[in-house]
A and B are shown apart, each in its own frame.
Chain A
Amino acid sequence: MSTDAEAFDAFVRARMPALLRFAHAVTGDPHTAADLVQDALVRTGMRWSRLDKTGDPEAYVRRAILNGRTSRWRKLHRETLVHEMPERMPANEPARHDEQLWDLLKTLPHKQRAVIVLRYYEDMSEEQIAATLGCAPGTVKSQASKALAKLRAAMPDKEASWT
C-alpha cells in the first residue's frame, strides 16, 4: 500500500464506528446509516490525497453523510415506506427510560437533528458545527434552540419522571 492508501485505511478503521453512530443518530435508521457511511467513505477515498493535505477529512465525511443520498429511487420508495420511522428495531431491546427522547429526536427535521447530534454527541462548538453543515453560526444557534424548544415542548410531563 502506498502512504496515501495506508493513511486512508487507518482513517477508515479508526473512524468508521464513530461515523456510523453519527449517521445512525442523524438518520434514525441503522441500515441507512451503514449505506451512507459506506458511500461517504468511498467518496472520501476518491479524493483522499487532496483532503488529507488540504482539508479536514473527517469534516468532509460528515458533510458527505449529511448530504448523503442514496438514489432517488431508493429514497422515494424507501422513504415512502418508512416515512414514519420504524418504531424501533424488533424487540429484544428492553425499553429505556429515555426512549421517549430518542423517539422525539427522530421527529426533528434533518438539520435540527444534525445540529443536536453534533453538539451533544460530538461536542462540537457552534463554529465547528457551522463548518460541518456549511451554514452560518447564527443558523446553528437558531436551529439548536428551535430543536431544544421542540423537544422540551414535546416531552410529556417529563423531567421529573425521567430522573
Chain B
Amino acid sequence: MDLEQQLRSVLTDDRLDVHLGPGAVQAVHDGVRRRRRRNAALSAAASFVLVAGGITTGVLATQGGSARLSPGPDQPGVSRTPKPGAVKPPAQAPEEVPWAALPDNPAKPFALPGTTPQPGVPACNAGQLSLTASQFQGATGSAAGGLTVTNNGATCGMQGSPQLTGYGESDQVIATSQGDDPFIVHPWFALRTGQQAQLPVQIFGDGSRCDLGPVKRLSVEVGAGGRPLSADVTWVDGRGVKPRCGTAPKSKQLDHYIASAGEWTRPDGSPHLPMADFSADSAQEPTTAMQGTTFRYQVLLSTGGAKVSPCLPYREQIIALDGTQTAYGTAYFRMNCAAMSASLTQGYTLDMQLALPKDIPVGTYALQWQTPIQGLGTGGSQTIQVTAAPPPCQQNQLDFSVGGTAAATGHFGQKVVLRNTSARACSLRGYPGVQFVNADGAPMRTVPHHGASFLWSTGSYETVRLAPGAPASFELGGVDIDVNGQQCPVASVVKVIAPGLFTQVPVQINWPYCLKGNVDVSPVVAGVKGPA
C-alpha cells in the first residue's frame, strides 16, 4: 500500500471518532443562545449573573491570564472572519494598520478612565467583607463559578484580580492562582454599605493529576490585607468542585489545579472599562523562527465600530512551553493609532513584529499579545519553533565585493556584498565597521552613523543566516554634492570589518566623499536586495 492509501486508511478509520455526548447538539444551541443574549445586553459584562435564586446563566470566557467577564475573544466581527476566498466575507474586510515602532514605557501606568481609585475612599479590607460562593458548573474545559463579597462596613473601594487558593477534602492546598499581571489595569469602584461585588473564578485541571480530589473551599485575598476570606464551594450536584483533569502526559502533570480569577466588578458587571468589549486574535504567526531574527504576525482587533481611544499600548513576548513558562523578547509598544482611519470600521488588522533575542534557547514557544485591558489579548493559538542560528561567520568564510549604487537628488548609496564562500552555514549580526581610503591609500576621516537613512528605514538588525554560497549585504548612504555645492573628492576604497570580526578587508568603490566623512551605515541584511 502506498503512503497516500495509508493516509486515507488511517484518516478514515474509527479511531478518529469522537464520542458525541447526548447533550452535544443542545450544547451548541445553548451556546448560541447565550452568546446572543450576551451580545444583545447593553452592558458587555451584564450576562454573568451568579447562580442565585435558581437563575443560572452566563459562561465565563477566559483570556488574558485569568477568567474575565464575557464577552471574550468571540465577539462577532473581525475575529476569525475567514479571509476572502475562504467563505464569502460576512463583514467588511478589516483595515490593515502597518506596524510602527512606538515604544511604550510599561513603568508608567496606563491611564484608562475608570481604573483610578477615588481619593478619600479607602480600599476594602477583609474585616468588613463577607464572602459567599456560587455553585460551580462546567465551562469549556474548566469549572466556572463566582465569588461574591458583601460590604458590612463603611464605603470602600474594590479593584483588581486577587490571588486565589483552593483547598481539598482534608483542607490541603490543591489549587493556586498565578499572580496578578502588573501590565493589566482593573476597574475601580466604590462599594457602599450593604453592596456586593463579584469575582468570576475558573478552575482548570487539564494539566493536573486526577487524584487531587474536589476543591471544597476557596480563599481569596482582598486588596487592603487582613486574613484571606474563605468560602465553601460546591459543584451543581452539591459535591466539591472537580475540573476535568489528567489530559497531560503523566510525567508532566501538576500536583495542583490552576485557579484563575477575573476582576472584581459590581454584580451587574459594571463599571465597564472603555474598549473592554473589543476582542483580539492573532494571525499569520510563523511556525518557525531563527534565534536573533524578527518575525511578523498580525493581530485582528475587533472593535465593533468603536474608536480605539485612548490609544492602547500592548505587550508582546513569546513564552517557553518547556514547563518554565519563561518569557522572551518582551517588548512594549503603542498601537499605530495614527494610521487607524476614523471611519466606522468593525476592526483592524494590526501588523506586528517581534524581535527574538539572539540567545533565546532553541525550543517551542507560544506568542502572547496583551493590552492592559484584561481579556483584550491573544496568544497561544499555535506554537512557534525557535531554531538555532548557525555559528558566527569567520573571516576565512567570507568574501567581500562591491554591489550596486543608488542615486537620488543629491543622495548617493553604495551596496557592499559579503558572501559565504565556505561549505558551512554561518551567521552575521549587526553593523560592519567602515573606513574610507583615498586613491593614494591614505585613510580618510570616517564618521559612521547607524540608524535610518534615505535608503533604509530602520536601524534595527537581525541575525542573518548565510547558507553556503549565499550573500548578505549592507549599504552606505550619503550625498554626492557637498553642502556648499562643491564636488566631493573620491574615496576609492572602503575597508570593511564584518560584524563580530576584526579584520579590515578593502573593497574597491567610487564613493563621493562629502560631509567630512559622515556616512550612514546600514546593518548587514540577508541577500542583496534593494538598489543593485
Contact = CB atoms under 8 A, between A and B. Distances in A.
Interface stretch (B27-35, B126-134, B477-485): B27-35
Interface in B34-63: 35-36, 39, 61-63
B119 interface: no
A151 B4 CA distance: 10
Interface in A1-48: 8-9, 12-13, 16-17, 20-21, 23-25, 29-31, 33-35, 37-39, 41-43, 45-47
Given A83-B383, A87-B249, A74 B204 contact: yes
Contacts of A46: 32, 35-36, 39, 76
Interface string B85-101: 11110100000000000
Contacts of A105: 7, 10
Contacts of B18: 17, 20-21, 23-24, 30, 33-34, 37
A142 interface: no
Contacts of A43: 74, 80
Contact of B16 (A25, A37, A132): A25
Contact of B88 (A54, A72, A74, A87): A54
B319 A76 contact: yes
B323 A80 contact: yes
A55 interface: yes
Contact of B249 (A17, A35, A69, A86): A86
Contacts of B1: 159, 162-163
B8 interface: yes
A69 B73 contact: yes
B28 A42 contact: yes
Given A74-B62, A131-B86, A9 B32 contact: no
Contact of A79 (B31, B287, B366): B366
Interface string A122-163: 000000001111100000000000001001100100010011
A97 to B, nearest CB: 10
Given A43-B74, A76-B379, A78-B206, A159 B3 contact: yes
B501 interface: no
Interface in B303-324: 319, 321-323
Most chain A beta carbons < 10 A, residue from B13, B19, B82, B88: B82
A71 B72 CA distance: 9
Interface string B80-120: 10110111101000000000000000000000000000000
Contacts of A56: 87-88
Interface in A41-73: 41-43, 45-47, 50-51, 54-56, 59-60, 63-64, 67-73
Interface in B181-212: 204, 206-207
Given A73-B63, A96-B15, 11 more contacts: A30-B19, A39-B140, A46-B35, A46-B39, A74-B204, A75-B381, A105-B7, A110-B382, A131-B86, A132-B86, A162-B6
Interface of A: 8-9, 12-13, 16-17, 20-21, 23-25, 29-31, 33-35, 37-39, 41-43, 45-47, 50-51, 54-56, 59-60, 63-64, 67-84, 86-87, 93, 96, 98, 101-102, 105, 109-111, 116-117, 120-121, 130-134, 148, 151-152, 155, 159, 162-163
Listed from nearest, the 6 A-B pairs whose CB atoms lie closest are: A75-B380, A45-B32, A81-B248, A81-B207, A42-B31, A134-B83
